[in-house]
Structure 1
Amino acid sequence: MVGTPMYGKIQGLRTKGYSKRRTARELNIDKRTVGKYWDMNDESYARYLLDSKERAKILDPYRDFIVAELEKHHDINSAIMDSHLREKFSEFSPSYRSVRLYVANLREELGFPKQTKIRQFCEVEELPMGFQAQVDMGQKTMTDIYGKNVKIYIFAMVMSCSRKKFVYFQDKPFNAEDFIKAHDLAFRYYGGRTTEIVYDQDRVMTVSENAGDLILTEAFENYYRYAGFSVRLCRGYDPQSKGKIEAVVKYVKGNFLACRTYFGISQLNSEGLAWLDRTANAKIHDTTKMVPDYVFTDEVKYLRSVPLLSEPVLPKTASIRKSNVVPYRQNRYEVPKGTYMPGRYARIEVDESEGKVIFYDSNTGEFLIEHKLEINGVGRFVQIPKNSDRFRETKYDSLKVKVLEGFDGLKPAEMYVESIMERYPRYIRDQLSIINKAQKIYSKDELKAALTYCIERDLFSATDFRDTLEYFKQESVAERYRETEIKLPVKYSIVTAQQRDISAYTSAVSGGMGL
């Protein structure tokens, strides 16, 4: 039933000569609705309106709540409305069909048309029970009680056979540790794991941490081997291989999270679990025509047990601070000067039996330093021992050693290299790399000559050193060309040219006797 304003619009467009089809399109309502009121006059409509009001409907007690939801969320659909009603009113018993019809009538009456979207499906091969699960991530912006936007990050898993779903939310981007935790929670929810899990290669397995990132990192690789399942990566946006999970993420965002106020991440996860039991896993699936919870009672028999998540699976990491220290167990451990770089992390390995802690670069695995594990308190600063000079070397010292070795122990070389490092502190790597490359091209004698030349003329720069080597090489080539002469064989060395008197040539020119 449409309200008086909508009835007036229908009659107004009819008076202007619009067709029923065009009127329906203009007002964004069904053509059958337009036809129902097309031939009504004002008296007929008033009588129809009176009859409708007198007839009680099963959902009338919930009308105010439904109207409030429609006014607040114009795009809310009947499925979401049904879920909200059952969540708000524990005694709610009307069927979903009743809710759908009642909401449709209220939309027409109040003039809240809803734009419908075509939902696309793709058939995929059905897999045996307990064989495969699918995982994907998503994001959704919600509004909190103060009207501020809050971005929510979604982890979803679905059993490929039974379609039983699991969902977990965070208010921050997932990193490797969060991703592993979500898997552990999912396996506990299901009571086991499948043989295989499918992931979206583009968005789940190949993103960097804290950027949305997830992640076939060392941590996750250790975990999936520890848990015992195999990983299958597929192309992003490939519905043939992961259409089930794509639909689940869309379902979570479009049903559970839609038109919902954010009260905190803990409450959201609690409400999510209740929604799974009440709606997502309790209603007949559109494709299988079966209830996921019922099918899962058989599938759970095929799942494999997962050992409890233990701490060693997650490698410990910590950011390297500007002061070249790494925090660990509320203490600060010094690392070699020059180790710090923005965004650089240290991987921490602890040997409790030996009482030591070792730090490595988390990306390259490069050894940084080893310390004695501090167990006598917190807030302590563990310094590099003063007699451990090799640990106080900067990150350029390994390159410096290579350069000095390239000079084959020449005494002036160390002074020359250190002078360059002092003059160009921001370009040490570039300066040393230039010298190191030159050492691979020129001979020891050439390097020694160029070194002596540069020191004598105060040319303390790697580019000057390189240019000197090139200059010497060019001069050497030119000198070889200058020394090259055309010499006769020894057997012709005694032959001399005959010398004539000038008068003989004069006579020949004047017509006299020839030469």
Structure 2
Amino acid sequence: MEILEAFDLTRCAHSAAQLVGVDEKTVVRYVAIRDEGGDPFSRSRRPRVTDPFVDKIEELVEKSQARIRADVVHQRLTAMGFTGNERSTRRAVAEAKAAWKAGRRRSYRPWSPEPGMWIQFDWGAGPVIAGRRTSLFCAWLSWSRFRVVLPVWDQTLPTLVSCLDATLRRIGGAPTYVLTDNAKTVTVEHVAGVAIRHPEIVAAGRHYGCKVETCEPFDPESKGGVEATVKVAKADLVPTSANLAPAYGSFAELEDACFDWCERVNNRVHRETRAIPAVRLVEERRHLHVLPTQPHAVALGEERLVNDDQTVSFGSVRYSTPPGHVATKVWCRVAGDELVIVGRTRAGLAEIARHRLSTPGNPSIVDTHYPHHPGGNLPRPPRPRPRTCEEAAFLELGEGAHRWLIEAGAAGAVRVRAKMRKAVELAAALDRQQVDHALGLAAIAGRFDDGDLVSILDHLATAAPPTDVVFVDESHSVQPGTGPWEGFGS
């Protein structure tokens, strides 16, 4: 500017050069640039060694759609007589790619979601618990920016619908559209670029009053909000060397961590809206649809038929169910480390059983599901069932007769029928209850000979009642006293 100012003052290049202390040619060059409307501060482009090959470089970039590498271009140019180094080629290729992309750059229109219109979800890789990999179901309510993250073991269709049901019930309603990726649980295939929906996910959306939409393939911009949710959730919840988070000891710990994370991010000011998502959710709930009382059948899990032994098979493992569900359909789903079994009751669909997940070969059987069958794997005690009049008469004596017959059979007693007839005859001649009591005592003592029952009856008839039994307590002791030793040695 001093050069130009001196020239305007003197109107002579020689004089202006002497005033500012520069060469006269410098003054002439800057004045010529200004007179041509150029920028005096921009440097003129010097000739490059790649200039004769610019057309070829642009041709290669155009054909490859700016994907060709600079080293490949350098090899092509060298074969054509190029003598420059690879650094010059890389600079020319970078400029050609930038010029090619400048006219083809994709432009975006800002998305302004309406309240109650959109909810987006996607899957993220979760932490490893006990050697088993988990997944994170990440949902994002577009207008309020309310986020829900649920840990699961798999990404199957029942798990997806179950997570979607839990998410909608947490936010308190259903929006109009559900946007997600083109997973096989949502999009079966593409025909001429048109996504073919999975019929079950369409039925689930119809059940909740939502229309399921999918984004364009390889176009994460159409659901960038939930992509950010997945990224942030994984950064905070998955233990890495970056966050130094400790490993999870159980699935329940991961569930608590996900819930705490959602509470934290939903109750802080969002960077873009400058509002708290939990507060905006209260306003958005007025625009959401009312949820049905019962979840969709797919959300309940996989359908199973209850066998005659009151068990269902899930994952090659048998799990017991309560009485009253034999030959009916139930639904099984995995919730953390447990298997939840849902069946139809008088009040509708309800949880009827819950088991810890087991492994093949180790069935999970609950004894309370079989109230009329003794539990355990021990031998079952026999239940006397009379088939003749003599057997019925003996068993009618009472519980002692039942016990005597069971113990006599286990002890291998002989002439059992004759002894049973003798007991019936004694009961007719003597007291019926006394004979039954004697049979019970004989069973306890293991006395099954011919004269044992009569001997026990005689003892019961002559023995005094046990009224002089001494009970040990703080006021009495069975320890002998020292009174007989008082006169010793006198």
Question: Per the shorter chain, which TM-score range?
Answer: 0.3 to 0.5
Q: Which of the two has greater helix per residue?
A: 1
TM-score normalised to the size of structure 1? 0.35
> Which of structures 1 and 2 has the bigger CA Rg?
2
